[in-house]
Amino acid sequence: MSSPHGGSIVGEVLAAHGVQCVYTLCGGHISPILQGAKAAGLRIVDVRDERSAAFAADAASRMTGVPGVCAVTAGPGVTNTMTAVKNAQMAQQPMVILGGATATILRGRGALQDIDQMSLMKPVTKWCVKATKVGDIKPLLEKALKVAAEGVPGPVFLELPVDLLYPEHVVAEWYMKESGVDKMKGVTGQAARLGMQAYLKRQFHMPHISLPERPSLRMPLGDKVDGQVAEVAAALSKASKPVLVIGNQAMVNLTPAQAEELADAVRKLGVPTFLGGSSRGLLGRTSALQYRHARSKALKDADVVLVAGFPFDFRMGYGQKINKKATLVSINLEAEALRKNRKPTLAVLTHPGSFLVHLSEKAGAPGDWSGWMAELQAREDARDAEIAAKASTTGPLIDPVQLFLRIEEKIAEDSVLIVDGGDFVATGAYIVRPRSPLSWLDPGVFGTLGVGGGFAVGAASSRPSAEIWLFYGDGSSAYSLAEFDTYRRLGFAPIAVIGTDASWQQIARDQITLLGDDVGTVLRRTDYHDVAEGYGGKGLLLTDPSQIDAVLDEAKALAAAGTAVCINVHLAASDFREGSISI
């Protein structure tokens, strides 16, 4: 396939927009995309499940500030991505899904894997569009990358029929052969061939007809936001107990350098800060401004609250846990989210990260909040001590709190932390602390299981030198454990830690308490370490508390040498998260 083709156009556009990788699972409908992207200098990262390809694109978007791209084949290739695409939509992460499709001339005639993909993808994407001729590919893909990132970011689906991707002479041969036109005789055959040639000419040589512009999703800037910055600065200057809460949205579309700029801005503001979702790690492992525990209590006591890129949803107690008398500032890219469940004092429609940077430039020196910060720190220290007291260093089996306390001490400064699971990983989230911005990957508000393997692929390809930790529940690990094959083939070396308690524990705990029945929640203590080893990784079994440090050290050494590791940790029963109902 040395001649130019539609896949070449795709590769050239992606390269020009700074995309580094295309995440994929191969299929005949999309082969030219993979070849064209490779020829344009992109890395083709091929995984074992289309969901992982989409999750990897999501992770790459979060870590690089450039929309992630996945290419999947027609029909089941596209439908397999839908959970991951919906997850990206709810997490407001920009990405582009390139979906193969049957030839334009065969649409609706019963061709292999020919379904109405547009109707399926439209509800889970910002924009859903299909190319109908080769001339569409470049302008539509350029627009897809733009739409994914602008305004409220999110996923975009671009359908690329197979006859627009392969070289013209190949498609012409297919058309003639499959239609039987090449065997038709006489005037009828001549007319049919002329008609087919005209159709091909349209497909390959008719220019793109511009689509009407979508309504702009860009946020208001200029005088209005400048005035709001001044209002917030004035409120902070009078505050006695301010609190800043930063969510996922403050981090979207940020490059690593921009993330560091945001971190500097937050430090300059000096406001006590709680970080959530992808913003975790923004201020490093430790910071005099950052608090991790007792957020609800802090919000009840605060007199000025800045909520930057966090909707008033279940994670924020639907806004009802915030002091009713506080000056409440909501900063969000989405107009509906600014006031959903709780009306703020001031609603700012703009990028939350950009707003905080501007605020740091306008605000004066931080106020004297030392007494307030001492109060918050006392709560922080008390909760950390309570967690440490829960840890058990004696057997049988491994206490999850003790395990994570040791992991927290072992994690490298360049680490990326990925969480995929319920009870076990939620325990870890109380203890392990990301070391730097853009180094924490969780599914977000959708609470999706199965992100782990794809997120690890996206992280490893975006930041090859980083130490990558993937925390799995034993239930969630089965969704993507096959990506150990991908790690081996492509030279990635994450450390997967599977907390094995032979249960869907986050569900079982409350189901048993409330209904007296463990039906549907029981698993086996499966040899996940052997499964990972069969796929090409190194498996380690951890059942003895006295061996925690030794096993973690061995895993780190193996990963540093380029081997992906799976630590299967047999967990003891724990009541650490008792009462954390999962609904």
Q: Give the 3-state secondary structure of 354-385.
A: HHHHHHHHHCCCCCCCHHHHHHHHHHHHHHHH
Is 213 among the domain residues?
no
> The domain spanning residue 282 has which CATH number?
3.40.50.1220
Do both 395 and 308 map to the same domain?
no
Residues forming beta bridges with residue 398, ordered by sequence position: 571
Amino acid identity of residue 32, one-letter, is P
| Residue linked to tokens 């992991």 | 407
Chosen domain end from 205, 231, 259: 205
Is 576 among the domain residues?
no
Which tokens hold the place of 428?
């870890």
Is 218 among the domain residues?
no
Do both 373 and 396 map to the same domain?
no
Chosen domain end from 311, 344, 377: 377
Is 384 among the domain residues?
no
Alpha carbon distance 320, 296 (integer Å)? 10
Is 475 among the domain residues?
yes
- Domain holding 168, by residue range, is 6-205
Do both 320 and 409 map to the same domain?
no
Is 41 among the domain residues?
yes
Q: What confidence score (pLDDT) does residue 413 get? A: 95
Do both 69 and 192 map to the same domain?
yes
Q: What angle do CA 83, 84, 90 make, to 5 degrees?
A: 90
Residues forming beta bridges with residue 569, ordered by sequence position: 499, 542
CB contact at 8 A, 20 and 38 = no
Between β-strands 242-246 and 273-275, what pairing exists: parallel, antiparallel or unpaired? parallel
Alpha carbon distance 410, 82 (integer Å)? 36
Give the pTM: 0.91
What are the strands, taking DSSP E only, across 33-173?
A: 43-46, 68-72, 95-101, 127-130, 155-161
Is 579 among the domain residues?
no
Tens-digit pLDDT string for the chain (583 aa): 445 789 999 999 999 999 999 999 999 899 999 999 999 999 999 999 999 999 999 999 999 999 999 999 999 999 999 999 999 999 999 999 999 998 877 677 677 778 899 999 999 999 999 999 999 999 999 999 999 999 999 999 999 999 999 888 887 777 766 666 666 667 666 766 677 677 777 777 777 766 555 433 334 445 688 889 999 999 999 999 999 999 999 999 999 999 999 999 999 999 999 999 999 999 999 999 999 999 999 999 999 999 999 999 888 889 999 999 999 999 999 999 999 999 999 999 999 999 999 999 999 888 899 999 999 999 999 999 999 999 998 889 999 999 999 999 999 999 999 999 999 999 999 999 999 999 999 999 898 999 999 999 999 999 999 999 999 999 999 999 999 999 999 999 999 999 999 999 988 888 888 899 999 999 999 999 999 999 999 999 999 999 999 999 999 999 999 999 999 999 999 888 877 766 6
Do both 286 and 187 map to the same domain?
no
Do both 342 and 411 map to the same domain?
no
Alpha carbon distance 321, 300 (integer Å)? 6
**For 539-542, which contacts have Cβ atoms below 8 Å and span 24 or more sequence positions?**
539/565, 539/566, 539/568, 540/565, 540/566, 540/567, 540/568, 541/567, 541/568, 541/570, 542/398, 542/567, 542/568, 542/569, 542/570
Which tokens hold the place of 183?
């065997």
- Determine what percent of the chain falls in helix, strand and coil, rounding each to the nearest 5: 50, 15, 35
Q: What confidence score (pLDDT) does residue 180 get? A: 60
Residues forming beta bridges with residue 45, ordered by sequence position: 23
Is 581 among the domain residues?
no
Do both 87 and 109 map to the same domain?
yes
Number of domains in the chain: 3
CB contact at 8 A, 69 and 19 = yes
Do both 457 and 563 map to the same domain?
yes
> The domain spanning residue 104 has which CATH number?
3.40.50.970
Amino acid identity of residue 59, one-letter, is A
Q: Please list, in sequence order, all residues whose beta carbon lies within 8 angstroms of the beta carbon of residue 123, skipping any fewer than 6 positions away.
A: none
The residue among 571, 536, 572, 542 whose CA lies nearest residue 554 is: 542
Q: Please list, in sequence order, all residues whose beta carbon lies within 8 angstroms of the beta carbon of residue 111, skipping any fewer than 6 positions away.
A: 102, 103
Residue 31 DSSP SS3: helix
Q: What angle do CA 419, 425, 426 make, to 5 degrees?
A: 115
The residue among 117, 213, 439, 88 whose CA lies nearest residue 69 is: 88
Alpha carbon distance 564, 467 (integer Å)? 11
Do both 243 and 357 map to the same domain?
yes
Do both 317 and 421 map to the same domain?
no
- Residue-wise DSSP of 264-293: HHHHHHT--EEE-GGGTTTT-S--TTB--S
Q: What confidence score (pLDDT) does residue 224 get? A: 80
Q: What is the DSSP letter of 522?
A: B
Do both 28 and 61 map to the same domain?
yes
Do both 230 and 153 map to the same domain?
no
Q: What confidence score (pLDDT) does residue 203 get? A: 75
Chosen domain end from 343, 377, 411: 377
Q: Which residues of 71-82 are buried (b: 16+ CB within 10 A; e: fewer)?
A: bbbbbebbbbbb
CB contact at 8 A, 538 and 515 = no
